[in-house]
Structure 1
Amino acid sequence: MSVLLVEDDVSIAIVITAALEAEGFAVTHCQTIAERDRLLGERGFDALVTDVMLPDGNGIETIDRARVLHPLMPIIILSAQNTLDTAVRASDTGAFEYFPKPFDIDELARTVRQAAGAGKELLPDGDEPLGDGLPLVGRSVAMQSVFRMITRVLRNDLTVLILGESGTGKELVAEAVHNLGHRRAGPFIAVNTAAIPADLIESELFGHEKGAFTGAVARHVGKFEQASGGTLFLDEIGDMPMQAQTRLLRALQSGTVRRVGGREEVRLDVRIIAATNKDLEPEIAAGRFREDLYYRLNVVPIHMPPLRERRDDIEVLARHFLQLAAGEGLPRRQLSVEAGQLLARQPWRGNVRELKNVIYRLALLAREDMIDAESVQALLSPDAATAATGDDLSGGGESAAIGQGGIADAVSRWLAAERPASGTIYEAAVAAFERPLFSEVLRETGGNQLRAAQALGINRNTLRKRLSELALDPEEFTRRS
């Protein structure tokens, strides 16, 4: 089998060629679009592997010329421009796969073999080109997997479950799937299932008929029907009441809904995207979430990484939020390199939402057009001190305060000292409380994680993950015992 490799970086081309030749491919290498078109005009190849930025043009924008010559040839795109826009444009070409740089060379070789042996026609490009202004920002490795998963669900109606901590941008992912997909002409209806009273959630989702209950003075069309032809985004799905979960499962299974108090079955034409900040497996074990609904929703999981796992994106996000702030009437500011580096070292327990709030405050309060590290330090001084010392509520002073004056007094003192950003207080408080709580339980169990997880009532994997995030070593408690 033969592969045409279009890559102007010779060192990368050598590595790719060696990997493909080890898989039994005959590799022809060129460095420009003009050479690519000449070679494709002379003979056929089993697969094309091409970079995006080439000396004489854009590899994505000129894919159509290669398609004319060989419409069935699978194409794999490589790019150092690791943005969602690039991933989406690569997907819009009907490319077999998209690899952001740096990539796993063995995975690339396996993908090329799979593509070359597929022997089927790729989807034609029938969509108009998409512009800039996409909502998700980030070039980190953690975000690349998110971008790739988004591109894989744009041309189908598979149910998507977005998982991640509060403030990571789960709704932005849902909006991206809708706005970039084939349902973008339809409505996008977002529902926070945790914010609707339990006795009203069925009416809100499925609608009700006149007279169905006291106060139902007219027919009400529910969110499922409102989203017809588009996307229904069910946020905080982990907090949905059990009775509503049963109705939702029935709707997903049958493809129909029945309004409360009604007899007519309404056929659904909607894509479902759900999101939660909860680990649903412990919820299932505790009987608070239906296991069969979980598997109905978890067809395509997309994991949104917390900001601490994508520190390379923090400075980029900060500059992005400064632009958004200026567009909303706040003073136009710039960020110094030192300020960006300081922001990147913060814990950001409230994730992207907390970062955005801080940047907006900096845009409002900064005295100079250039925001420097001193300005950032002044605004984040309590958080910066916490990050520098590694102390939360587990510090000696606060732990003693809890023992002397009770939890209520300790919380009051912690709020006064930390001053978490609005909208992040809950997440920050939970993170601060978890460290001393986990330390005490591990101390009681002699570092035994299984017994600690059972005592806490959480999944062992969840405990292990949180211990890693909180930098708690169970072995320390084993040695102490």
Structure 2
Amino acid sequence: MDGTILIADDDRAIRTVLSQALTRAGCRVRATGSVNTLWRWVEEGDGDVVVTDVMMPDGDGLDLLPAIRRKRPDLPVIVMSAQNTVMTAIRAAEAGAYEYLPKPFDLKEVLEQVRKGLGQRDRAPTSSNTSEPETVSTENLPLIGRSPAMQDVYRIMARLMNTTLSVMINGESGTGKELVARALHNFGTRKDKPFVALNMAAIPRELIESELFGHEKGAFTGATERTTGRFEAAAGGTLFLDEIGDMPADAQTRLLRVLQEGEFTRIGGRENIPADVRIIAATHQDLRALINEGRFREDLFYRLNVVPVRLPPLRERLEDIPDLARAFLGRAEAEGLPRKSISTDAIDVLKQEQWTGNVRELENLMRRLAALCPDDVIGAREVREELAARPSSAATRSGGMDGERLGEAIENHLRRYFDLHGGELPPAGLYDRILREVEMPLIALSLAATRGNQVKTAQLLGINRNTLRKKIQELDIPVTRGKKLM
């Protein structure tokens, strides 16, 4: 590498490590622990690439980026920060950073990004009329975690915020796919337009095309009036297509045509309507396997999978559990449940779980603990008891708690709600909470018994298949087809 690298970091050890590595790579290096000194070097025209920390004694490296963009728009700035949240990644991208790297960093990655930055010199713009970027709200995103796995997600998200590229989010049930989709919308260029979501698994297959594109009066039996579809409702904004792998073949063909031509017609209509939407799709299934089975169109896959985003399961980011658990307890308090904290021993117990339901399962557990734990601090014993009561536990599989009949077990469980705080009434909404606690294991176990066959599960439960699909979506119950789940 050939070029001058400006390093700004208040940690002397980091300055030394970076300076030595870049010097060995053939670069000239100037290093400082001051934002003001860095700005003076930039004003003097020195440096081909900047590597800067965010927080320094005399200022914020990110706050300097707009001025650097105006003064020297051709100067790549690599931002590093120990405040490695999704908002830091977004702030860096919005401020015009060439790259954002969380600390602790991989030295090889820093060198690679510097090399790429030096390669940008011949292709960089020369005009200094670069407008200052729009300020992004500092309101926290509903995405929590500082693990390396989540840092990769944040960096991809930051790059996608101000684009209209189609995105495919892949992840197990409960990993937060819709949260990522909403974040891409809420912090992107279309944030002032609608965000419209449609879950393919929650709608009867014969109605999906009507839901997507709308229909005219008389288009089919029961079409008594014109109906607007999700594409029209999302005009100018974002259309989130969840569980895209469950889309039927006819709807896949029509969606592909819309993506190719940029317009659509309502069912039974002739008017061409512009399809001005950004598409974000999501699935927990392996779409490539569905393509091989002939159940998903390959050409549609490539239209949707322009930028893939993989959300890691919770078992791959166990270091995020303390932040997640405390955040969920805070949300439970905001919903009217008692204020709770959680002990270190209890966190250790949580980290030992596999979390097949991922973050959603952890959130549900923390809400139950907030409601049921009589003490202000949730301990390891309470966590173990609640974990043992889950559908996947040995106690549930054996048919009850200590040989109790179902009615007795439920009655004893309910008594705990009313024993909180010396017999005070629990927060409002008890019926829905209890119903959810009963429905979730009932449906999950029924699906397990039928190897994920939803038709047989609906027959087993004695409910309509559409009702079952809606419940699976509402309760975020994972479905594994063709494989015994227990």
The answer to whether structure 1 residue 121 and structure 2 residue 128 are counterparts is no
Q: Residue 379 of structure 1 corresponds to which residue in structure 2?
A: 386
Q: 1:72: Cα distance to partner?
A: 2.5
Q: Residue 268 of structure 1 corresponds to which residue in structure 2?
A: 275
Q: Residue 302 of structure 1 corresponds to which residue in structure 2?
A: 309
Q: Residue 107 of structure 1 corresponds to which residue in structure 2?
A: 109
CA distance 1:338–1:65, change in 2 (3 Å): same
Q: 1:73: Cα distance to partner?
A: 1.2
- Structure 2 alignment gaps of length 5 or more: 400-405, 411-435, 452-479
CA distance 1:18–1:431, change in 2 (3 Å): farther
Which AA in structure 2 matches 1:178?
H
CA distance 1:289–1:425, change in 2 (3 Å): farther
Q: Residue 11 of structure 1 corresponds to which residue in structure 2?
A: 13
Given that 1:350 and 1:428 are in contact with CA atoms closer than 8 Å, whether structure 2 keeps it comes out as: no
Instruction: Output one character per residue of 1:53-100: Cα deviation in whole Å (capped at 9) or x when no partner.
Output: 212222112323333442321111001111101110011111111011
Q: 1:258: Cα distance to partner?
A: 1.1
Give the 3-state SS of the residue equivalent to 2:285 in structure 1.
coil
Pick the aligned partner of 2:45 from 26, 29, 43.
43
Q: 1:21: Cα distance to partner?
A: 2.1
Pick the aligned partner of 1:208 from 201, 204, 215.
215
Instruction: Normalising by structure 1, report the TM-score.
Output: 0.80
Instruction: Output one character per residue of 1:380-406: Cα deviation in whole Å (capped at 9) or x when no partner.
Output: 2356996xxxx999xxx98xx9xxxxx
Q: Distance in 1 between matches of 2:437 and 2:289?
A: 28
Give the 3-state SS of the residue equivalent to 1:316 in structure 2.
helix
Give the 3-state SS of the residue equivalent to 1:60 in structure 2.
helix
**Matches for 1:285-364 after TM superposition, within 5 Å:** 285-364=292-371
**Matches for 1:386-397 after TM superposition, within 5 Å:** none
Given that 1:74 and 1:95 are in contact with CA atoms closer than 8 Å, whether structure 2 keeps it comes out as: yes
Which AA in structure 1 matches 2:93?
S
Q: 1:336: Cα distance to partner?
A: 1.4
Given that 1:48 and 1:73 are in contact with CA atoms closer than 8 Å, whether structure 2 keeps it comes out as: yes
CA distance 1:27–1:330, change in 2 (3 Å): same
Pick the aligned partner of 2:234 from 227, 237, 253.
227
Give the 3-state SS of the residue equivalent to 2:252 in structure 1.
helix
Given that 2:332 and 2:370 are in contact with CA atoms closer than 8 Å, whether structure 1 keeps it comes out as: yes
Q: 1:10: Cα distance to partner?
A: 1.9
Q: Distance in 2 between matches of 1:62 and 1:421?
A: 54
Pick the aligned partner of 2:253 from 224, 241, 246.
246
CA distance 1:2–1:421, change in 2 (3 Å): farther
Instruction: Normalising by structure 2, report the TM-score.
Output: 0.79
CA distance 1:220–1:322, change in 2 (3 Å): same
Given that 1:354 and 1:421 are in contact with CA atoms closer than 8 Å, whether structure 2 keeps it comes out as: no
Which AA in structure 1 matches 2:341?
Q
| Bigger mean CA offset, 135-144 vs 109-118 | 109-118
| Bigger mean CA offset, 11-20 vs 25-34 | 11-20
Q: 1:429: Cα distance to partner?
A: 8.3
State, as a whole percentage, how many aligned pairs show the same letter. 49
Q: Provide the aligned length of Structure 1 versus Structure 2.
A: 414
Instruction: Output one character per residue of 1:416-460: Cα deviation in whole Å (capped at 9) or x when no partner.
Output: 9xx9986477778889999xxxxxxxxxxxxxxxxxxxxxxxxxx
| Bigger mean CA offset, 335-344 vs 155-164 | 335-344
Give the 3-state SS of the residue equivalent to 1:359 in structure 2.
helix
Q: 1:130: Cα distance to partner?
A: 2.0
What RMSD over aligned residues (CA atoms) do the two structures have, in Å?
A: 2.9
Given that 1:349 and 1:427 are in contact with CA atoms closer than 8 Å, whether structure 2 keeps it comes out as: no
Q: Distance in 2 between matches of 1:336 and 1:269?
A: 50
Given that 1:349 and 1:428 are in contact with CA atoms closer than 8 Å, whether structure 2 keeps it comes out as: no
Q: Residue 72 of structure 1 corresponds to which residue in structure 2?
A: 74
Q: Residue 140 of structure 1 corresponds to which residue in structure 2?
A: 147
Pick the aligned partner of 2:194 from 158, 170, 187.
187
- Structure 1 alignment gaps of length 5 or more: 402-411, 435-462, 471-481
Give the 3-state SS of the residue equivalent to 1:326 in structure 2.
helix
